[in-house]
Structure 1
Amino acid sequence: MNRLPILILPVMLAACGSIPKPDLTSAPATASGYVQRIDALDDQGPQINAVIAINPTALRDAAKAQALPGPLAGKTVLVKDNIETADPMPTTVGSLALKDNVTGRDAPLVARLRAAGVVILGKTNLSEWANIRGSRSSSGWSGVGGQTKNPHAIDRSPCGSSSGSGAAVAAGFAWAAIGTETDGSITCPASANGVVGFKPTVGLVSRRHIAPISHSQDTGGPMANTVRDAALLLAAMAGSDSGDPATQRADLHVQDFAEGIDTASLSGKRIGVMRRGVGNHPGVTALFDAALADLKRAGATLVDIDWEPDGQMYRDESLVLRWELKRDLTAWLKSLPGNPPVRSLADVIAWDKANAASELRWFGQDTFEAAERLTDEAAYRKARENSLRMAGKEGIDMLLARHNVNLLVFPTEGPAWAIDLITGGSSLPGIGMGSLPAIAGYPHLSVPMGAVEGLPVGLSIVAGQWADKAVLDAGAAYERARTSPLAKPGFKRWGE
């Protein structure tokens, strides 16, 4: 892959000494060990292509962080490459147009992580422009990083757009990673790669200095091996930011999200089972039924819910995302220091056309072009009002109240589909309802619940606005009750 900057990894490896054969059964515990593992499995061997850049100061930072207090001191974290960091690494959003975009700025969520002792190990690959460029995209492909592979089956999709973050955690390339989500971009990669992914309430974590799609739905979130680890990261990331109006109320809801999580219980909890989100694949259905049995044995009362959202919700969401993309992405591009070759969505469209051989070979930019043509602000405002109401007040809020339940559950997504750069590939239909919490801006957790033919599948847990702690507690309690075995990455093609 085209790791950027290309000279960093060899220099760091020289500092680490000789490269031992990687142990595929366990991840390392040091920054230097993770760097060696990335070289052995991301650049060589199966070539997972999850990591775009290695932070040249990571080893030095790790040595200093060990002396800091707190549970995150010295923990290595990879950051999705649409999030700015002050380290000398470019923020490319996967596009070759921004291959030299070294901003020198920390996104507030990154600054908060550093303050907690986290070591920023590097940047992860992603679906280019967070998977909003074209309708026939391949999840996990970018012009900078190429195609990310799923460590469980390297010919299977890692899902997008936080594909590199999910694959990196699964492959043991860092202790944890940070992803971003507009609709499914944290939870789907978490499910496909067999890791924990948490999309917090929109407004709990600042989005400033993150390449945007939609100010209505964007948020950063943790991806980790356990719910407890995700909770620790969220506690460090969360907080109000004067540069992001959506976070005005965040400090009212920030807490130690990991406190008590090791003993959190499902006893007395009423959980709504979203039957219309299960689909009809027998393997997924059997796995979900086993998860429901685990929840029940852990003390939860299960309530079947036969409901699905009005199709207008998805139609209106599409308009909202395209309208906000044009304005929000252009504003971010204009804010970049230096002299990037693109300063607006229109510039990106023109740049891609001029560099079609490297950027547009596999799929186009029809979504970008449709967004650039939008001019009807009244239609946008109506669409946002409608989609928010249908997902929130008349969706999750209504379901929780009508059925007197605390949480909603459904399979996050089906097993990973085959990577197909020509057609883009496709997931199994009818599985999951992740657009509800995405549009409403409510918390959504995906926890591994087992595997179908060796391919991971996640359990989604959803609740109302600001109920992040309740969702994380429920996820940790489910982890302890889970009886289905989890798949382990094989770093081979599916079936081999």
Structure 2
Amino acid sequence: MKIFAPLIALTLTAPVLAQEAAGLPPLPGTSAAQQAAEQQLARIATLDDAGPELNAVIVVNPAAPAQARAAEAAGLPLGGMTVLVKDNIETRDMPTTAGSLLLADNATGRDAPLVARIRAAGGVILGKTNLSEWANFRGDDSTSGWSGVGGLTRNPHATDRNACGSSSGSGAAIAAGFAWGAIGTETNGSITCPASINGIVGFKPTVGFVSRTHVVPIAATQDTAGPMTIDTYRAAMLMNAMTGSDPLDPVTAEADARKVDFTEGMLDAGLAGVRIGVMREQIGNRADVAALFEQALTDMERAGAVLVDIEFNPDRAMFRDSFAVLLYEFREGIDAYLQALPRNRASDALLPRSLQELVEGNEAAGEAELRWFGQQLFEQALEATDTAAYETARENAVRIAGEETIDRLLADFDVEFLVAPTRGPAWVSDLVVGDNFNSSIGFGSPAAIAGYPHLTVPMGQVEGLPVGLSIIGAKWEDHAVLKAGSAYERIRMAELPVPTFRPWTPER
């Protein structure tokens, strides 16, 4: 159950609905952006808080329609388009909970720099989205999309199935039509998996393009925010708004120099003559997913792409060392984040100020937090204090994932991109047993660990359940990856599923 009820339950008047149904311009006295925001708030009230109760949105901004009207009138680049923000990213007008009851009162009154940039570009923050609590870095046997604050996010394509995590709410919300765009965060698969499983576009940028200041951290080496949208062009528009150097986040030092107009060339990008590496070992063990992937490859080849088969499995020491990095950096990062929270209100004294206090707070919360899975990762992170071991693990993980995997494959096979299925279809959500990932499908981890760009674009359906295509490129080649995704969108022949907002049935 949500502890933040939406701040508004808005019902559109019959005339406004009639205008929309007829495809007519906005009613006199309204703007297109204002009317869109009103319709989206109504849709959230109808489908998220009632009806199928998707639990994708934790809290909404009742001032969004007025803000959209003002941004549109100002002629700003995003023109009043609405954006939902994952609830581990700070916004000045809403709490930032990371899904945890322990941060339910964490109202910092400040915008993360990435949010401030979106607002400055004319984007309107429509609300905050649900997520896997603590971005799915708390305990074993968790169920993606569940948080103590927001409950379990449901997949709009099949409400008994998982929305994946940790940016589950952002993925489900865009699939459900709740906003123009959304922001997710990823450490390893947390943008690309929910985007794939919800049938939308998700883009994990090069680590260093987007500031992480005032974003609840997992690991500084791998963390980044990124756009989740219905198409690659919108993702590129959000990248234009979000990216840039931030003096408080040294990893972004090159961002201003590397930044381009990410929308340039998107609408006429092609694949003719583009050499693409096909990751044959990462297609997985499902014949239906393999068939979708083969159709995508056929589409790309028909468009002139040169496909190069690659048989490769990365050194698994990468995964071991990356996990060690996550544990160490989480302890350091979360302590620093909690200790720096504002102390302006009397209630701020009740907020936890360290990872140790989080562990104790979860124990005190009992079943409200720990009923379905524990906090083993928190407890392991408390013990991850060996700096020398951490530094060795970090060097190994980043080198193996980047230099010895992605860089090597791009160079040795003379290809511009690597492609694979992103994930399999959504599994049935089970709070008792936890997630049921098919780990044989996908090649996203090297891009996550090395901090390289990874785009997922819908490539079809299995029994009405979406499946995405991953396109991975070299560090800082984000624009090229987005253009490749846009080119694929235009030549894709597969039928894409439409959300049903009901449980899955075999009679589709």
> What is the TM-score of this pair, normalised by structure 2?
0.94
Given candidates 81, 85, 102, the residue that maps to 1:79 is 85
Q: Using the alignment, how far apart are the partners of 2:183 and 2:285 within structure 1? A: 32
Is 1:57 matched with 2:67?
no
Q: Percent identity over the alignment? A: 58
Q: Could you tell me which amino acid in structure 2 is paired with residue 463 of structure 1?
A: G
Match of 2:146 in 1: 141
SS at match of 1:121: strand
Match of 1:126 in 2: 131
Q: Using the alignment, how far apart are the partners of 1:133 and 1:90 within structure 2? A: 20
- The 5-angstrom pairing of residues 20-419 of structure 1 reads 30-87=36-93, 89-338=94-343, 339=348, 340-419=350-429
Q: Using the alignment, how far apart are the partners of 1:369 and 1:73 within structure 2? A: 46
Q: Is the 8 A contact 1:82 1:210 kept in 2?
A: yes
Match of 1:2 in 2: 2
Q: Using the alignment, how far apart are the partners of 1:177 and 1:273 within structure 2? A: 29
The Cα of 1:58 is off from its aligned counterpart by: 1.6
Q: Deviations over 1:273-325 (max 9, x none)?
A: 00111001010000000000011111110000000111111011111001100
Q: Could you tell me which amino acid in structure 2 is paired with residue 299 of structure 1?
A: G
SS at match of 2:433: coil
The Cα of 1:425 is off from its aligned counterpart by: 2.4
Q: Using the alignment, how far apart are the partners of 2:308 and 2:6 within structure 1? A: 56
- The 5-angstrom pairing of residues 458-473 of structure 1 reads 458-473=468-483
Q: Could you tell me which amino acid in structure 2 is paired with residue 9 of structure 1?
A: I
Q: Deviations over 1:236-270 (max 9, x none)?
A: 10000001000000011111101110001111110
Q: 1:482 to 1:7 in 2, by over 3 A?
A: closer
Q: Is the 8 A contact 2:453 2:476 kept in 1?
A: yes
Match of 2:438 in 1: 428
SS at match of 1:206: coil
The Cα of 1:376 is off from its aligned counterpart by: 1.2
Q: Is the 8 A contact 1:3 1:53 kept in 2?
A: no
Q: Is the 8 A contact 2:105 2:351 kept in 1?
A: no
The Cα of 1:7 is off from its aligned counterpart by: 6.1
Q: Using the alignment, how far apart are the partners of 2:338 and 2:223 within structure 1? A: 16
Q: Which moved more, 1:283-292 or 1:329-338?
A: 329-338
The structure 1 segments of at least 4 consecutive aligned residues displaced by more than 6 Å after TM superposition are 18-21
SS at match of 1:469: helix
Match of 1:439 in 2: 449
Q: Could you tell me which amino acid in structure 2 is paired with residue 480 of structure 1?
A: R
Q: Using the alignment, how far apart are the partners of 1:335 and 1:341 within structure 2? A: 11
Match of 2:489 in 1: 479
Q: Deviations over 1:24-52 (max 9, x none)?
A: 9x9x9611110000000001000000000
Q: Could you tell me which amino acid in structure 1 is paired with residue 7 of structure 2?
A: I
Q: Using the alignment, how far apart are the partners of 1:462 and 1:365 within structure 2? A: 32
User: What's the RMSD between the two structures over aligned residues?
Assistant: 1.8
Q: Using the alignment, how far apart are the partners of 1:220 and 1:410 within structure 2? A: 22
Q: Deviations over 1:131-170 (max 9, x none)?
A: 0001211000000000000000001100000000000000
Q: Using the alignment, how far apart are the partners of 2:194 and 2:6 within structure 1? A: 29
The Cα of 1:429 is off from its aligned counterpart by: 3.0
The Cα of 1:341 is off from its aligned counterpart by: 2.2
Q: Which runs of 5 or more residues in structure 2 are unaligned?
A: 24-32
Q: Is the 8 A contact 2:197 2:468 kept in 1?
A: yes
Q: Which runs of 5 or more residues in structure 1 are unaligned?
A: none
Q: Is the 8 A contact 1:3 1:51 kept in 2?
A: no
Q: Could you tell me which amino acid in structure 2 is paired with residue 160 of structure 1?
A: G
Q: Which moved more, 1:476-485 or 1:29-38?
A: 29-38
Q: Is the 8 A contact 1:323 1:371 kept in 2?
A: yes
Q: Deviations over 1:212-244 (max 9, x none)?
A: 000000000000000000000001100000010
The Cα of 1:3 is off from its aligned counterpart by: 4.8
Q: Which moved more, 1:159-168 or 1:307-316?
A: 307-316
Q: Which moved more, 1:418-427 or 1:56-65?
A: 56-65
Q: Could you tell me which amino acid in structure 1 is paired with residue 369 of structure 2?
A: E
Q: Could you tell me which amino acid in structure 2 is paired with residue 171 of structure 1?
A: A
Q: Using the alignment, how far apart are the partners of 1:429 and 1:2 within structure 2? A: 31
Q: Could you tell me which amino acid in structure 1 is paired with residue 66 of structure 2?
A: R
Q: Is the 8 A contact 2:6 2:59 kept in 1?
A: no
Match of 2:28 in 1: none
SS at match of 2:225: strand
The Cα of 1:423 is off from its aligned counterpart by: 1.0
Q: Deviations over 1:401-430 (max 9, x none)?
A: 000000000000000111000111212231
Q: 1:72 to 1:3 in 2, by over 3 A?
A: farther
Q: Could you tell me which amino acid in structure 2 is paired with residue 376 of structure 1?
A: D
SS at match of 2:397: helix
Q: Could you tell me which amino acid in structure 1 is paired with residue 63 of structure 2?
A: T
Q: Could you tell me which amino acid in structure 2 is paired with residue 313 of structure 1?
A: M
SS at match of 2:394: helix
